Amino acid sequence: MLWGGRFKESLDSEALKFSSSIQIDKTLLPEDIQGSKVHASMLKTIGILSDEEYEKISNGLTQIEEEYLSGLWKPDESIYEDIHSAIESKLNELIGQAAGKLHTGRSRNDQIITAVRLWVKKACEEILEVQKEFQNTLLKLAEDNTTTIIPGYTHLQRAQPISFAFHLLAYVEMLGRDCERVKFTSKMADESPLGSGALAGSTLPLDREFTCKELGFNNPSRNALDAVSDRDFLLEFLNSCAIGMMHLSRFAEEIVLWSTSEWKFIRLADSFTTGSSLMPQKKNSDLAELTRGKTGRTFGNYMALLTTMKGLPLSYNRDMQEDKESVFDSFNTYYSCLKMMKGMMETVNVNKTRYLDELKGDFSLATDLADWLVLKGIPFRQAHHIVGKVVQLAEEKGILFDELTVEDLKAIHPIFDMSAMECFEIKTALERKKTFGSPNPKMVSEQISFWKEKVKD
């Protein structure tokens, strides 16, 4: 134990097991080693450590990391409270008394949160990389489907025709916002708390600017009390994962629908689907379903830490030990789901002609006809009513839009002429779009080019 001097009895074995976090925070070993090496280097520069002591500590820490990563050293989880105390004990075993100087001017409060901030910065980089890979996958798929017409939906009812590329670009936009949230989270984590001590700094001349620079942080924290008790950046991280997973879940739901026999729009590769133990014919989109299902845990992780923090007085409280499990879990969940979704979309087969005949003369072209009337000078509300009558007539006759005649249209309003019939042509529906941000193939291609450049940043 690192704190047993004033106690007559050792901690109860069950109490130690209950309070231990080593099973979770061993993930932080590389970051803890990194922070300790820099702290030791700073202690040498201010004269606390001799050159010889520093070399012993630095080499000992390197050996610990190598032995841990290679499996030669596994800290006994029945003995240690956390990975930090395990490392310190192992260092003492390797180099003797010099190890006792490493903790000079440092509390586990600032030690741990420094390691966590380093880990979050690294995790943000890894998430950003796979987010952009997924964006590129979608952009490549979109580039091949700028004229692949599909129905666009509101209320899960057919609304207006769009292209598959346009639909995919909506998710590229979502991923773009997800990337910005992760970048912001990384910026929030980019502050060095090392040197804050337990809550009030130190009477030793610790060089916080030195450790900040050596650890790659942007600036040292300005208030020690806040530095050791701040978990806002972790909440931002959990929020980024939760929103990102929400977007993946929406996409997963569409993949599930598109791949059914009823929709017949996409076919997932065998390598990203599963079968049934009973029904030989089944091909299930289980990875999409699992992504959809795993979203709930990321929401729960965010709410769990938010709830933990809501009633804590300054500064550090042991409740905060519960922060890491949810953070590591959300990272692993979001990261793996991004990988799975990317894999599914890289290998998907798209039925490009699926809706061409089905949308021919479809009522989803009703708005185009209303716009035609507006250009003829009819007020939109009146045009809306007129087209509603056209739909009603087609339904009464049991026919589609393009099966109506000009005489049918003129019977509803005399302004109709042959040019109105062009509104019922599905193949030119996308080209008729005029506004920026619409599924006009030319504009979609421009957006694909825009995003290809943006993803490089």
Type of residue at 260: T
Task: Collect all residues with Cβ–Cβ distance below 8 Å to 140 and sequence separation of at least 6.
Answer: none
Catalytic residue (choose from 70, 155, 261, 277):
155
d(CA 166, CA 145): 9
Catalytic residue (choose from 10, 19, 78, 276):
276
Assigned token pair, 399: 């026919």
Q: Provide the b/e sequence for 221-254 (b: ≥16 CB within 10 Å).
A: beebbebbbbbebbbbbbbbbbbbbebbbebbeb
What is the per-residue DSSP string for 93-111? Answer: HHHGGGGGGTTTT--HHHH
Type of residue at 425: E
Type of residue at 343: G
Map 32-66 to HEC letters.
HHHHHHHHHHHHHHCCCCCHHHHHHHHHHHHHHHH
Q: What is the DSSP letter of 281?
A: T
Dihedrals phi, psi of 7, to nearest 5 degrees? -105, 140
Rg (CA), the chain: 31
- The number of beta carbons lying within 10 Å of the beta carbon of residue 381 is 9
276 is catalytic: yes
Q: Provide the b/e sequence for 96-113 (b: ≥16 CB within 10 Å).
A: eebbebbbbbbbbbbbbb
H helices of 378-435, in order, are 380-397, 406-412
Positions marked active-site:
155, 276
